Amino acid sequence: MEIAALHQRFLESGQVSTDSRNIPQGCIFFALKGERFNGNTFALQALEEGAAWAVVDEPGYSGHPRAILVEDALASLQQLATYHRQYCGTRIIALTGSNGKTTTKELIAAVLEQEYRIIATRGNLNNHIGVPLTLLRLQPETELAVVEMGANHQGEIDFLCRIALPDFGYITNFGKAHLEGFGGVEGVIKGKSEMYRRLMADQKTLFLNADDPIQREKLQGYARKVGFSTTDTTYFPIRFLGADPHVHLELEGVEIRTHLMGAYNFTNCAVAALIGHYFNVPLEKIRTALEGYRAANNRSQVLQRGTLEIILDAYNANPSSMEAALDQFGRLDAPRKTAILGDMFELGEDAPAEHLAIGKKALEMGLDAVYLVGTHFDATGLPARRYPDFESLAEALKVEPLSGPGSVLIKASRGMALERLLEQL
């Protein structure tokens, strides 16, 4: 079936599903494949449960009158998303980076929705499936969309940009994330920079942190760039007033006090303010949005458990974000400070050295206690409280619970699921 015809059926349906466990009435079900599943086998079930159409890519499942046979169901989903994006004509702001993508996306969305009809990526649906699903939520009346793009190997950001066709782009930073897939730090810089190269080739507008030397170098000589800086007055001036512990900044003489912890969140707030300024959002509304934002979903959340203040940052971790979180934690004024650090994933051959470096840093900070959990941290042999897995840590904390008053930093990659500790704390 031609994409134009499929799009007409999508307009009649209004929604798609790629999960046979969630079939909205009248949707189009796309039978995607994964390592452990074949969506084609669920096509008939999806139709019986209320899907209007099922897009399949194996002839054996195309016998139903409402089954649409295509060469590749995933490619059809991506092509449909691009077609719909062009149909709606919405201006797209794309962002990627090693750290802070989701928080930055939410801050930008919070600012822009003060003045515009917008959509933004839900959660972290930022890959080759999530980006198309975001684009298919566009409506003709949607004025702006904030689309997060994640990647763990070369070529992925360029591919996502070809699907979304963004009008604007921003890279949060270049850090030690997904080193295994990208092939080291230089590979990360090259891979994330695909967004800049693609948008520059299309003569689109790029936002940048002009205080970041890598971003400045990548966009040197490019005219269609809009940046912020704390030092260079040729860019939009934003002052960093501190993070004690919450980020405090000044924008055009107006002070903004956020509820985000950590100096590393300053640039996330700054680019949201820059983009709001670019799109003529009034300054007072920018302040309202930034001051009203609360971190959630295990990202730098501050929670109280009795006399313990819990800083829960268990959504993701890599050496760069781990180091930044420890630096911020070290500056906190607390009667007792405990760090519980879990393994960082997708570091490949760099994993032993990076875990050893982070473990040593934590031990050298003079914290009252350091817990290291996971096979990588356990293998460091460091003189900390080390546990090979979550279960052994949980058992140890049952025998010797953490006591307050004090602050506890919990930081790890998503796969460690250290937020489970909240039940005990």
* Assigned domain for 401 exists: yes
Same domain, 153 and 96: yes
Of 37, 173, 1, nearest to 100 by C-alpha is: 173
Residue 83 included in any domain:
no
The verdict on residue 84 lying in a domain is no
Count of Cβ atoms closer than 10 Å to residue 126 Cβ: 23
Q: 105 in a domain, yes or no?
A: yes
- 270 with 392, same domain? no
**What span, in angstroms and rounded, lies between the C-alpha atoms of 176 and 180?**
10
82 part of a folded domain: no
Q: Are residues 323 and 279 in the same domain?
A: no
120: helix, strand or coil: strand
Name residues whose C-beta falls within 8 Å of residue 194's C-beta, 6 or more positions apart in sequence. 154, 155, 156, 157, 158, 161
- Assigned domain for 317 exists: yes
pLDDT digits (tens, 9 = 90+) for 153-203: 678 999 999 999 999 999 998 765 555 555 566 766 777 789 999 999 999
- Provide the CATH number for the domain around residue 415: 3.90.190.20
Domain extent at residue 378:
301-423
Quote the number of domains for the chain: 3
Residues 280, 158 share a domain: yes
Are 170 and 276 in the same domain? yes
Write out pLDDT tens, residues 191-229.
Answer: 778 999 999 999 999 999 999 998 888 898 999 999 999
Tell me the angle at which helices 266-278 and 283-292 cross, rounded to the nearest 10 degrees. Answer: 150
- Does residue 159 sit within a domain? yes
Strand ranges, E, within 108-173: 118-120, 144-148, 168-171
The CA–CA distances, whole Å, from 258 to 152, 208, 293, 296, 362 equal 31, 21, 7, 14, 27
Residues 6+ apart with CB under 8 A from 344: 317, 318, 319, 322, 351, 354, 355, 358, 376, 412, 413
Is residue 25 pLDDT above 80, yes or no? Answer: yes
Residue-level pLDDT at 333? 86
Distance CA 155, CA 152 (A): 9
pLDDT at 217: 87
Task: Using alpha carbons, list the distances in angstroms from residue 110 to 238, 266, 269, 303, 406.
Answer: 18, 16, 11, 22, 32
The answer on 190 and 225 residing in a single domain is yes
Q: What is the mean pLDDT of the chain?
A: 92
Asked if residue 328 and residue 212 are part of one domain, the reply reads: no
Q: Strand pairing partners for 17? A: 29
Amino acid at 344: M
Residue 181, pLDDT score: 59
Q: Which of 266, 292, 318 is the last residue of a domain?
A: 292
Q: Kindly state whether residue 278 falls inside one of the protein's structural domains.
A: yes
Q: Are residues 312 and 357 located together in one domain of the fold? A: yes
User: Nearest 5 degrees, angle CA 407-CA 411-CA 417?
Assistant: 120
The reply to whether 265 and 122 lie within a common domain is: yes
pLDDT at residue number 182: 56
**Percentage of residues in the chain with pLDDT exceeding 90?**
73
Q: Render pLDDT for 315-357 as a digit per residue (tens, 0 to 9).
A: 888 888 899 889 889 988 889 999 999 999 988 888 999 999 9
What is the layout of strands, in order, in the sheet containing 91-96? 118-120, 144-148, 91-96, 168-171, 205-209, 225-229, 236-243, 246-251, 254-261
Say if CB 313 and CB 147 are below 8 A apart: no
CATH of the domain at 116: 3.40.1190.10
Residues 201, 129: one domain?
yes
**Same domain for 135 and 267:** yes
Determine if the peptide bond prior to 388 is cis (ω within 30°): no
CA atoms of 257 and 146, how far apart (whole Å): 24
Question: Where a domain ends, among 77, 110, 139?
Answer: 77
Q: Please state, in angstroms and rounded to a whole number, the distance separating the CA atoms of residues 422 and 195.
A: 38
- CATH number of residue 28's parent domain: 3.40.1390.10
The predicted model gives 231-249 an average pLDDT of: 92
| Cα four-point dihedral sign 355, 150, 73, 20 | positive
Is 338 in the same domain as 360? yes
**Looking at 257, 292, 327, which one is the last position of a domain?**
292
